[in-house]
Each structure stands twice: as structure tokens, then as C-alpha cells.
A and B are shown apart, each in its own frame.
Chain A
Amino acid sequence: MLQVVDLTCSRGDRALFEKLSFSVQPGELLYVQGANGSGKTTLLRTLCGLSQPADGEVRWQGTPIGQLADDYRSQLCYIGHANGIQGDLSAAENLRFGTCVGGADSHADIAAALERVGLTKAARLPAKFLSQGQKRRLALARLLVVTKPLWILDEPLTALDVHFGAIMNERLTAHVAAGGLVVITSHQELAVTGPISKIRLDS
């Protein structure tokens, strides 16, 4: 269970949100909403432990994530605005590196994951020749090979076409149904069936 207690985050002198508390149970998706600049990305980065909150804490299974350190990170898959893709490596090399750093199975089926996101033909192409949407799909392919219970996704649907947007929604539904946790921001409508809780940051 992911638990947030009295979390306050600020950027510069400006407080983005104050005394925010919520929890995400296994099998639940938390949909973080809010206008541009309301602190969605900051919240997600704080949940990952990339940014430090001004006050309050984030707990995983009841323990603050700062204490858990690597044990928490082994439960977590974060896909942020930056895709983590190096243009001079091929799509397959990028995905293999991503899963390797994510600590996933060394025999993970890269080819199958690339096929699922429709990049089989582009697998050997340097990633710099991929379109925005294809790069996004390549980043999201990590979710297929790295099996972690907690997904923290920052705008995963941007640049995706209708077809792959639907596939992503299916993946989210399946992950939640299998007892996974998802924290997600999106300006596109989510079509996930299952328990969804929502939180608005700009209220």
C-alpha cells in the first residue's frame, strides 16, 4: 500500500499543494488531475523519491520510502515526461538497457514486448528516427518487461494514437485487476475499468 501523509511540496517559494493525504491500495488506480502547473509531476516525482517534499512523508507498506531506499525502488516503475531513450541506440538496445537498469529479468522477452507496442519493424532502427508517439510506446514497453507492482506514470497517453491509447488502457486495467497499484496523470480521458480514485490538485 502506498500512503501519503500531510505532504507539502513547493517550487521555489510557491507552495504547490499543502497537507495532502491519500492512500492507494493494491488493485487500485489513482488518477491525479489538475491544471498545468498545479504540481502533478512534482507529486509523482516525490512519490518516486526523486524529489524531496517540503513536509510530510510517503510510506510504502507503512514504512517511509527514505528508509526503504532500494527495497522501495525494486517495487516501482516510473515513466516520466522524459522517455529515457538514447537516440543513438536502437529501439531494442534502448529497451534492453531500460529493463536492465530497472532490475528486470535478464532473459526478458524484448522482441515480444516490442511486438506488443508495434515496434518490431523499427527494432533495429536508431531511436532518433522514431516519431514522438513511437518513442512513447518504446518507453511504455518497459512496463511489459519489468514486472513491478507500483506504476507511477506521468502523462503516458501523450502522443499515442487511438489504437495504442486503447491498448495502454487495457494494460492499466489488467495491471489493476492483477492487484497492482497505479498512480497516473493524464489530460486524455482514461478508459480503465476497475476501482479508480481521483484527486484534484488545483482545488
Chain B
Amino acid sequence: MSQNLLGTARCIFQRDLILAARKPADVATPLAFFVIVSSLFPLGVGPEPDVLSRLAPGVLWVAALLATMLSLGRLFAGDHADGTLEQMTLSPHPLTPLVFAKVAAHWVTSGLLLVVLSPLLAMQLNLPAHAMGTLAVTLLLGTPVLSLLGSVGAALTLGVRGGGVLLSLLVLPLYTPVLIFGAGAVTASASGLDTKAYFSLLGAFLLLALGFAPWATAAALRISLD
């Protein structure tokens, strides 16, 4: 019996998690960046609690966004260099779900860890306690979108010299709506307003990215390997 699609996708997902565990520096770098940037703000703008709590949603979201972007480079670069990506595109299974497995593993080793870290940093920035939950939910909905959209950019800039700069130029305009509504929800929640509309919008972004991004990434990978 030959390996089915789901088995192959699981195989890729597990492999990427194992690799992340064996190269902890790759996972730790964006996280350290996230922690450092959010910790520098209180030092830079002063310890005024009111100012900090007003800045907190934006600072945390921008830091999370940049940290995700920092981790995008490693999404396909290693597999491209050693020829694994060629083998994946020549797999008898459609490339789109295989790409999805890779992006899912990337999110678990970047976005999900950012979500786990975020309450700690939110406390440091004096974010009101009742907005903590909103921050976690927006990041939980938003960071997968960042990983998915980022994968399209990472695939398009694969093997391009100076690809990092190009990648940020490609991806940043697509990231801005997520940033605006993600940070907006936390600000609204901190001032006691309703956040349902923000959640719906972020959820819609996520669904859209889930449907469209893996397919676009697969197509971009085939072009990059040509």
C-alpha cells in the first residue's frame, strides 16, 4: 500500500518539528527578537504606566509581525539548498497540501510560541488585564495569516540574492490589514469596547489565507525551481 496524502503531509510536519527541535537557535532567534523589542520600549519611552498601556497593543503586534518576518527566511531555504524541495515537487501527491504542512510546522515553531510569550510581555507594557485574552486571541488568529502570506513571499524570493529585503517589501503591504485589525482589537478591548467585529475580520483573513496562500506558494515554488 502506498503512502496516502495525509500520511505524507504528517510526515513533512513531523520532520520540520524534529528539525526545529534539533536547531533550537533557528526557533529562538525570532522569539528573542520579540522579547528584546518589546522590552526596549519601556526603556525608550519611559516608565509612565499610562503611556505604556496605550502603546502596548501596537508595540506587541508590530514586534510579533517583525519576528514572524524574521523567521520566514528559513521556511524553504534549507530544503531548497539540499534538494529536498525538488523531491517534494516531484512527489506523486499534490504540492499544495504538502506546502500547507510545512507552513503549519512553521507557525507552530514561530507564531504559536509568540502567542505563548505575549502575556508576559503585555504585563511588562502594563496592558490592562482584561485585554490580555483579546491579545492572545488576535495573535492566535493573526499569526497563522502572517505565516501563510509570508510563505508566498518566501517561495517567490527563493534563491534570489538579497531576497530578504525583497521578501519584506512583498509581504509588508499584505501584513498591514492584519496589523491594523489585530492591534485595533486589543486597543478596543483595553478601553472596554466590543471586539467582535475585529475577531470576525481576522477570522475572515485567516480563512482567505488558508484557501489561497498554500496554492499560491506551491505555484511560486514551481516557478522558483524552474
Show the binding face of A for B, using Cβ within 8 Å.
Answer: 48-52, 70-71, 73-74, 76, 78, 80-89, 93, 96-107
Contacts and interface: CB of A to CB of B under 8 A. Distances in A.
Nearest to B84: A84
B226 interface: yes
B164 to A, nearest CB: 22
Interface of B: 1-3, 7-8, 11-12, 15, 18-19, 22-23, 78-79, 81-84, 86-94, 98, 225-226
B82 A84 contact: yes
A73 B225 CA distance: 16
13 contacts: A50-B89, A50-B226, A82-B86, A84-B82, A84-B83, A86-B19, A86-B84, A88-B23, A89-B19, A101-B84, A101-B91, A104-B2, A106-B7
Interface core residue of B3, B18, B23 (most chain A CB under 10 Å): B3
A157 to B, nearest CB: 17
Given A52-B226, A97-B11, A101-B8, A83 B92 contact: no
Chain B interface SS verdict (over half) = helix
Chain A contact residues: helix, strand, loop or mixed: loop
A42 B89 CA distance: 16
Contacts of B22: 88-89
A100 B83 contact: no
B86 A84 contact: yes
Contacts of B23: 88
A102 B11 CA distance: 11
Contact of A106 (B3, B82, B94): B3
A15 to B, nearest CB: 17
A78 B89 CA distance: 11
Contact of A83 (B2, B15, B83, B90): B83
Contacts of B94: 70
